[in-house]
Structure 1
C-alpha cells in the first residue's frame, strides 16, 4: 500500500460524500423520514411505546449493536477473500475500515444500498492497490454471495410460517416480493454473464453521446474496462473453494445481522422466535428501497406490520418499540461507527 493510494482513498471518499451531501436531498430525506416515524409512533400510541422502551433491558440492546457490527465485519471478511482470488492482498484491519466508511456513505443517502456498489468499488480502488474493475468485480461477487443466505433464511422462516399457519395478506405480498427477487436477481446476473456482448453493446450505446461531447471518455476505454471487469469475474469463478469459504462468512454476516431483532424482542420480553426473525428481517429489507436515507420509516413500518401480523399477542406499541430498538442497533449505531471510519479514511489521506 503506497502513501499515494491511501491519499487517493481519502480524497475519493471526501469527494463522494461531498457530492452526496451537497444536493440538499439528504436533509430532506431525514426530515421526511422523521415525520413518518413520528406518525408511526402516534398511531401506535406515544404512551404505549414509551412505556415499552422504559421497561426494556438495555443490556440486550448493546448486544444487538455488537451483533450488527460483527455481521458487517463478516461481510467485510468475505470481501477480503474474494479480493485475494484476484491477487489483491489487503489487511483485514484496513479493509474493514474502508468497508465501514463506504457503508456510511450508502446509509445516509436515499436508495444508497440499491446502487452503492460502484461507489464502494471506487473507494476501494483508491484506498488499495486494486484496479477499479477488480474492485467492482469483487463487490458484485460479494453482494451475490450475500444474496444466497438472504433468500435461504427468508425461505426457512417462510416455511416455518406456512407450516404453522396461513400468512396474513400483508406478509403474503412481502413473501411474494422475496420469491420474485429469489428468482429474478440470479436470472439477471446469469443473463448479464451469459450475454456479456449484449451488455457491452448496451453500455457503449448509452455512453456514445457522452463520449462525443468530451475527450475524457472514449468508447475504446469503456470497452476495455468492461472486458477487464468480466475477466476479473472469470478469475473469481475459477476458484470455487475460495468462494465457498467466502460464503461461510456471508452466512455468518446474515445471522448476526438478523439477530438484533431477536435481541430487541428479548430486551422487551416479547415472544419473537429466532426462526420468525429470519423471515421478518429479509422481508423488511425490501422496504429499505424507500427513497429515504437507509430506508428510514419504510423499514420500521414494515417491521411493525410483520410483527403484529405474525405474532398477534404483541401489541402495536410493543412492536413499534422493538422496531425502534432494532433500527437503533442496525442503522443508527452503525451510522455512528461507520461515520468514524469515514472520518478516519479521510484523515489518513
Structure 2
C-alpha cells in the first residue's frame, strides 16, 4: 500500500471516529452489545455470496470475449480489485485496471481486451444502479424534505453516470465516433508528449481498436441480456439484503424499501472522488438518513459501523492479504494499453 492510500485511510478513519463521537460512543457500544450474531453472520454470508456473483458475472463476460479463466482464478483477482477500489479515491481509476492487468498477466491475454471486459463488467452495475437511483430519488423526495440544491446534485449525478455510459457504448458501436475519440486522445498526447510520441500513439491506436472490438463482441452477445444483466440486479438485491440483515440484528423496525433507498443514496455519495471507497461520506449519509427514518442514532451508528466492516473492511483486508501473491509492485506496473508481455516474469516476486 502506498503512502497516499495510507493517508486517505487514516483521514477516513478519523472522520468515522469524529462522527461516532458526536453520536455517542458509549451508546454505540451498548447498541453493539445487543446485536444478534446470527443475523450478523447471515449478513457476512450475503457479502461472501456477492463476491461469488461478481466473479461469475465477470467470468461470463470474459467467456464472451474469448478470455477463458476459471472461477477460482478470477475470485482472488476480484477481491484484489475491490480492495484497490477501497484504498484509492475513485478518481484514480480504482481496481478495474488492476483486475485487467492481473488477468492479462496470468493468462497472457492482451491488456486492452481484458480491460474492455472489465469495463463491460463495471458498466453492467450501472444499469440496475441507475434504475434504483431514479426510484430512490423519487421515493426519498416524497419521504424527506430535501433542499433543492441537494436534489439537483443527485439528479445531475445520475444524469452524468448515464451520459458516461452512453458515450462509452456509442464509442464502441459507432466507428466514426470512436475515431474522433481516438483523435482527441492523440491530440492530448501530442500536446504533452511532443518528443518521441509516435510509439505511444501506435499503442493508443491499438489499445482503442482492441477495446472497441472486445466491447462490441460483449455488447452484441445475447448472453449479456439473458445472464449477466439479470445477475447485476441480483447482486444489488443481495447488497441491500446484507444491510437489512445488519439492521434486523439490532432490532431496528424499518422497511426494506427505506434500507434500500438510503443504501443507494449512500452509494451515490461514495462515488465522490475524495475519499477511498467513499468512506466517511457513505457512513455519514447512512447514519443521518437512517436516523431521519425513525431509527435511534445509536442503533443507526452501530449498524452502520458493522455494515461497513462487512462491506468495506472485509474485502479490503482479504484483497490486501491476497495482493502479495501477485507481487507487491502490481499497482505501479499498470499501464493501460501496455502489453503485459513487456513486464518481466520475475515481477511476481517483487
Q: TM-score range by the shorter chain?
A: 0.7 to 0.9
> Take 2:327 and 2:225, find their aligned partners in 1: how far apart are those partners?
31
The separation in 1 between residues aligned to 2:309 and 2:198, in whole angstroms, is 43
Match of 1:132 among 108, 111, 131: 111
Query: What is residue 169 of structure 1 aligned with on the other side?
Result: 146
Q: How does 1:172-321 map to 2 (within 5 A)?
A: 172=151, 175-177=154-156, 179-181=158-160, 183-193=162-172, 194=174, 195-209=177-191, 211-214=193-196, 217-288=199-270, 289-309=272-292, 311=293, 313-321=294-302
C-alpha contact 1:44 1:317 (8 A) present in aligned 2 = yes
Q: Which runs of 5+ in 1 are unaligned?
A: 1-20
What aligned pairs does 1:26-37 form with structure 2 within 5 A after superposition? 26-37=5-16
Aligned to 2:82: 103
Kept in 2, the 8 Å contact 1:178–1:283? The answer is no
Give the superposed CA RMSD: 2.5
1:41 aligned to 2:20? Answer: yes
- Deviation of 1:157 after TM superposition, in Å, equals 4.4
Aligned residues: 324
Corresponding residue for 1:50?
29
Q: 1:182 to 1:110 in 2, by over 3 A?
A: closer
Contact 1:107–1:113 (Cα < 8 Å) also in 2: no
Q: Tell me how far 1:114 sits from its aligned partner.
A: 4.9
Name which of structure 1's ranges 197-206 and 288-297 shifts more when overlaid on structure 2: 288-297
String of CA shifts for 1:113-163, please: whole Å, max 9, x gaps: 85443332222211223211111110111111111111223344455556x
Structure 1 residue 207, shift from structure 2 partner = 1.9
Preserved CA contact (<8 Å) 2:89 2:274:
yes
Is residue 73 of structure 2 the alignment partner of residue 94 of structure 1?
yes
Task: Give the 3-state SS of the residue equivalent to 2:88 in structure 1.
Answer: coil
**Displacement, 1:177?**
4.9
1:144 aligns with one of 103, 113, 123: 123
Inter-CA distance 68–112: structure 2 relative to 1 (3 Å threshold): farther
Structure 2: which 5+ runs fail to align? Answer: 329-347
Task: Report the Cα distance in structure 2 between the residues aligned to 1:214 and 1:317, rounded to whole angstroms.
Answer: 60
Question: Of the two structures, which has the highest relative contact order with CA contacts closer than 8 Å and spacing of 6 or more?
Answer: 1
Aligned 8 A contact 1:121 1:136 in 2: yes
TM-score of the superposed pair, with normalisation by structure 2: 0.83
Distance 1:153 1:246 in 2: 17
